Structure formats: C-alpha cells, structure tokens
Structure 1
Amino acid sequence: MAEAVGVSHAAVSYAYNRPDKLSQQQRSRILAVAAELGYPGPNPTGRSLRTGKVGALGLILTDSLPYAFEDPGVALLMRGIAEVGELAQVALTLLPAPLEAVPAAASLDALLRGVVDGFMVYAMPDRHPVLDSVLRRRLPVVTIDGPALEGHSRVGIDDRGAAREAARHLLALGHRDVAVLVSRLSPDGRSGPASHSRIAHARDRVMKARVKGYRDAFAEAGVGVLPVVEAGGFSAAQSRAGAEMLLDTRSVTAVLAATDVLALALLDAAAGRGLRVPEDLAVIGFDDLPAAAVAGLTTVRQPMTQKGQEAARLLLNTINGTPGTHLVTLPTELVVRGSTGEPTTGSTASPH
C-alpha cells in the first residue's frame, strides 16, 4: 500500500489513526488510493502487537446485558462513553457481572478474561467478588457510582446531599407521612420493607447514600424515621411491583423514589388506583431521565452522559500513561415539576 502511494508505512498508519500528523491533501491521496486498491486500513492485530493495546474499553454492569439496553440511565451513560470512545477510536465491550444470588457468580474470572485495555465498573456494590477479579487483571480501572478503589479514579455525584435536598423540598411543602422506595440495598434479590439492620448493612452505595440523605433531612426537621421499601432490582417489572407493594402497605402523602424508573412506576400505579398526583400522592424521583419531563416529574437531575464521558476520558488517560488518581464529583440540581405539591388529604394507601 505504502509503495503504491509513494509514502512511508508510517504515513499510511497516520492517515487512519493520526490524521493530525498529515496535511489534508496527503491524507486524501492516501485514502483515495486505498479505496481503489480495496485496502481496509492497518491490521488491528499488528497494531496491538506494536502498541501493547487492543483498542477496547470494558464496561462492567451488575446485571444482565438486556438491562444495559432497557435502563434509560445506563443508556445515557453508555452514550457518553461512546462519544469519547469514537474520538479515541476505541471500542466498548459490555461485561455483565451476575448478582451474587445467581450461581453464575463462580464464573466471574472467566467473564473478565475479555480482551480490553481497562475497565469502567458501574454501580458495583461494596465487596462484590467481581472487584477482586478486576483488580487481579492489573489493568487501569475507573469506578462509576461505586466504591473508590485505592489507586484508581472514580466518577460520581454527591448522592447523599442531592437526596437531602429532595427530602427538604417535600418537608417545605408540609409532608410528614412519607416513605422511601429504593431499587435494592444489596445484590441478593430481596424485596419488601427494609429493616434498620438491612439499611445499615446495605452494600449498594448509591441507594444507601440516598436513603441516608432522605433521613438526614427528616432528622433535621425532627420528623420520625422514614420507612423504606425495596423493589428487589432495577427492572421495570420490579419497579412496578415495588410501587404497588409500597402503596399496599404504607399510608403516606408522598414518596421519595430513589430513581426515576421507580418514580414513573409509582405514577402509573397511583393512576391505576385513581389517586391524584400531587393532591393525593406527591412523588419525587432521581436522575431526570427524558421521560421525567414528559411525565411532569419532580426529580434530581444528574449528568449521566457526562459521567460516561468523564469516566472514559480518565480511563483512556490512564491507559495512555497519564499518571494520577482523580475523584470526580459532578453537580446535581433539583428540578421541580408538577408531581409535588402541598398535601391535601390524609393518606393514599388502602392496606390489604
């Protein structure tokens, strides 16, 4: 190929991988000749042998692969990662880490033998066995919304502070009979009312921090301890089941939902029972997914796409030899819409 154009092998490589090294005219000529000859570009295997890199980033999720495409928050995160990955000409490999309640947990080491240059670990519970497997690979790691691993970077938000602000909003409106709905406190599939011990020993950092934030605000106001209900997982079906369970068992004027998926499920469940929002039931979510604005949901806005961008940049910098460990905390904002208002009735639930 290089001989056909009359340039060096390095120039051909630059035309595909480092266009800034060539003039536009020279690059165009190389690509035109390549098209005539049917040349597809430098061999990626050869490139990986020369550089020691394979050109792929791994994203580890604590659920199945369908979850990655069904959950709108994860989709926004992956969009941010993909935007940076395209600019850096690297691929994204999705690696599902099974829940500990699933026997497949024993196969984590095999799962993590995927060919990647580094890992982004999303929303990993504390002490999950996949963390040991990741660290044994001795590759660069960036955690997102999970534990901060010594010597590795992390990207997240102040979940506790943002949740505190959401709870203060309900308190300012006059709500006192309030419950909390979370996806899960630990990766064991349990659902239902959460005991004090269960909350205290929760391993899902994000859910635990949000519950603490909600309770901080109510403690400051001198209001009783907030009851917490677990949906058991992140899926739409689990969220709807958790919403129905909460409305069946709690008598409340408002619910603090720890995700927008949960909050939207609550809005649907309330509508099915003939409850008015916010007159009979105020609902506040967390994330500000695109569907939240459509539904008029009061929620906490967090930059999911930016999380993905920041994590991908940090990982690529580490892979490319830039030293340093960074703990990035991105901003949040309470977005008030029509799903919250002053309480006008005593309660919403009809316990069975």
Structure 2
Amino acid sequence: MRDVARVAGVSQAAVSYAYNQPHKLSAARRAHIFQVAASLGYAGPNPAGRNLRTGQVGALGLMITDSLRYAFDDPATSQLLKGISEIGELAEVTLSLLPCPLESSRVTEGSGVLVRGAVDGFLAYAMPEGHPGMRTVLSRNLPLVVIDGPNPGDLPRVGIHDREAAQQATEYLLALDHRRIGFLVDRLVPDGTGGLVDAARFEMTRDHVMRERLTGYRSACQKFDVPWSTTVVVEAGGFDDELSRTAAETLLDTAPVTAIVAASDLLALAALDVAHERGLRVPEDLSVVGFDDIPSAKAAGLTTIRQPLVDKGREAAQLLLDIIGGATGRDVTLPTELVVRSTTGPAPKAVIAEQFSQATLNSPPPLERPRPSCLPPEHEE
C-alpha cells in the first residue's frame, strides 16, 4: 500500500479508503489508485494481514449433523440458510458449512473441521444431545449460538415452542373427533434406525426437537382422554424422500388411522403421496397435518404448523454477530401458527359411530340415581 501511495501521489490512507471505504473518495481518485495498483501487481489488502490486525476472520460456522448435501436438499434447512446468508451478506461475512456426522472419527476425537475451521463463532443447528462436536467447539472458547437443539451450559439460543405447537396441531384434530391418530417423526436417534417407536426407543431420543414435539402430541392425547397406547408412532430414521415414504407406508400398514400428524412437512407430503396411491381420499378418509410450512406445503394445500424458518436464520446470525461484537447473549423464541388448509377435516362419520358404539359397549352400566328427598313426587325425574 505504501508503494501504491508513493507512485499514485496519494496518502496511504487514501489507498486504504479505495479498497475498504470507497465512499470517501471520488470515482476518479479511486480509478487512478486501482490503475496504479494494477500496474504494480497489487491486488488489494491481504485478508490474512487484516485478520491478524483485527483478530477476526469474517466468517461464521454453521454446524450440521448430516452431510453438506442435506443442508441444500432439506427444504426447512434451506430456508434457515437463506435467513443466515441474508444477514451475512449485510455484514460482509462469509458462512462456512461444517458437517460433523456422528460416525466421523475426527469429530469423535476432537479434530477435523471443527478445529481447523477459521471462524469467529459457531451456529449449532439441531445437534443431537451428547454430540462430541459440541465439546470440541466449546473448548475453542468462541461465541456459540444454539438453534433448535439441546443447550449445554445455558448458551444463547434461537428456537420456537416445539411442544406447544405440536400439542396445538394434535388438539385441532382431536377437536374434529379424530381418535385413530398416527404420528410420523423424522429421527429420534441418529443411528440409521427407523420403524415403529416403542417406549424404549422414545427414552433413547437424542433429538431435542423431536422429543419436544412427541411430548406435545402425547399431552394433547392425555387432555382428550385418548390413551397413548392406542396411537402409533413411526420413525423415518432420516430426512430424505425415500425414508419418509417408507415411514408413511409403515404407518398406514400398521393401523387404520383417520389422521396423521407429521413432525415435518416432508413427512406429511410423503404421507399424502402414499395415501393418494392407495385410493384414500384426503380429507374425507384421512386428514394430514405437517410442521414447518415450507414453500411446497401451500401448493399441496397442507394443513401445518408454520414456523418462521427464514427469520430463525436471520435472528441466529444477527445474535451471533452481536455477541462477536461484544454484546451479551440472549434467548430468542419465535412464534408459530396453525395454518388450516384442505388436508384436514372431521373424522369419517362411520368411524365416529363405531367408536361411540364401542365406547357404549365397554362402559359400565349406569348407576341407579337416588331420588332427591327435597323434592315432592310430582317433581321427581
């Protein structure tokens, strides 16, 4: 920069302004400086030199449990990335995607991308409980914001009330007289296992969001006196279309349900596809509710829980940048909304009648009521 300033006949500060604060110079002065710099083979300030001076690298790291492909293929994660990138662009920082799958020996050993990654802070997205990557990141003593995950050490966090939203979705169906309800969840434990979920599998759950949503489903059933033992829960074991379809098929093969509550829109859309292939009418024969309200949910007419995924990314990125800048961390809880569309309706009348008849058969005989002694005979019932 000194060489460029000497040849151009300007101050070294003017050269710095040309690259870092161009609004402080006229267009002609900037063009002159860039022309001289090009003739001398100077391409601009060295990022490494700037990093040494400021102590920052100008990058945020987003931790994900799955592959890089998942970050772009999963619709909900893509919406989150959109929000993060918007804030990153405004702040002129880059985003590093840091895949840290559990099967990676480097993650387990505390090495690899989480150690080598040159970032100023981390966003931990939906990390399973006990993930070794969290220990590695915490040991680096860099700012860390949790998104939709367990929160070790009372860290700053951005999320929603998953339990309450899931309960709302289930109560909506129960209020429509659905009692044969099946539940689809993405992944309780990142071990590649899918299928019917029993009590033991539920206790093994390491995904914070799925545990909260299942607890919400269960609370709604208890509120409406529906035994949890009569419901069916199926785990997809992952997040792709094929696993989602398999989970929906397993659920419909296992029990004659009149409604499905899915922990994601991806699962709900798969359930709709399978239902249509089997000739089930939606919502006359089967009602379906999703979660997220991704763009394709509206096109399918899917009733779902809307969460502000893009806003969640924005809030998390801005919170992390604020902390890097010296602000105090905080928790951000965003609102959700039940969006009712065309995939839900009342339970089939024949099923309601059958359930009523069965309840009558199983109910004990009515007790003979004693006559109230305070009323004269002509007023007795």
d(CA) in 2 for partners of 1:245 and 1:31? Answer: 66
User: Does the 8 A contact of 2:108 with 2:132 survive in 1?
Assistant: no
Name the structure 1 match of 2:70. Answer: 67
Q: What TM-score does the superposition give when structure 2 sets the normalisation length?
A: 0.84
d(CA) in 2 for partners of 1:73 and 1:30? Answer: 47
Return the offset for 1:203.
Answer: 1.1
User: Does the 8 A contact of 1:97 with 1:108 survive in 2?
Assistant: no
Q: Deviations over 1:127-165 (max 9, x none)?
A: 111111111111111110012232531100000011111
d(CA) in 1 for partners of 2:99 and 2:218? Answer: 32
- Output aligned runs, 1:76-87, within 5 Å: 76-87=79-90
Name the structure 1 match of 2:340. Answer: 336
Q: Deviations over 1:171-204 (max 9, x none)?
A: 1111110011000111111111111132133110
Return the offset for 1:3.
Answer: 4.3
1:293 counterpart (283, 293, 298): 298
| Residues 321, 296 of structure 1: alpha-carbon distance in 2 compared, 3 angstrom cutoff | same
User: Does the 8 A contact of 2:87 with 2:317 survive in 1?
Assistant: yes
- Output aligned runs, 1:174-323, within 5 Å: 174-225=177-228, 226-322=231-327
Q: Secondary structure at the match of 1:286?
A: strand
Q: Secondary structure at the match of 2:111?
A: helix
C-alpha root-mean-square deviation of aligned residues, in Å?
2.0
Q: Which amino acid aligns with 1:70?
A: D
d(CA) in 2 for partners of 1:11 and 1:246? Answer: 68
Return the offset for 1:10.
Answer: 4.0
Q: 1:109 and 2:108 equivalent?
A: no
Q: What TM-score does the superposition give when structure 1 sets the normalisation length?
A: 0.91
Q: Deviations over 1:259-281 (max 9, x none)?
A: 00000111111111111111111
What runs of 5+ residues in structure 1 fail to find an aligned partner?
348-352
User: Does the 8 A contact of 2:61 with 2:97 survive in 1?
Assistant: yes
User: Does the 8 A contact of 1:15 with 1:27 survive in 2?
Assistant: no
Q: Which amino acid aligns with 2:288?
A: V
d(CA) in 1 for partners of 2:155 and 2:280? Answer: 47
Q: Which amino acid aligns with 2:215?
A: K
Q: Deviations over 1:277-329 (max 9, x none)?
A: 1111110000000000000000001011111111111111111222x121110
| Residues 83, 126 of structure 1: alpha-carbon distance in 2 compared, 3 angstrom cutoff | same
User: Does the 8 A contact of 2:108 with 2:133 survive in 1?
Assistant: no
User: Does the 8 A contact of 1:140 with 1:152 survive in 2?
Assistant: no
What runs of 5+ residues in structure 2 fail to find an aligned partner?
353-381
Give the total of aligned pairs. Answer: 341
| Residues 343, 55 of structure 1: alpha-carbon distance in 2 compared, 3 angstrom cutoff | same
Q: Secondary structure at the match of 2:79?
A: helix
- Output aligned runs, 1:146-161, within 5 Å: 146-150=149-153, 152-161=155-164
Name the structure 1 match of 2:365. Answer: none
| Residues 246, 15 of structure 1: alpha-carbon distance in 2 compared, 3 angstrom cutoff | farther
Return the offset for 1:220.
Answer: 0.7
User: Does the 8 A contact of 2:244 with 2:270 survive in 1?
Assistant: yes
Larger RCO of the pair (alpha carbons < 8 Å, separation 6+): 1
Taking only the aligned residue pairs, the percentage that are identical comes to: 55
| Residues 279, 178 of structure 1: alpha-carbon distance in 2 compared, 3 angstrom cutoff | same
| Residues 316, 4 of structure 1: alpha-carbon distance in 2 compared, 3 angstrom cutoff | farther
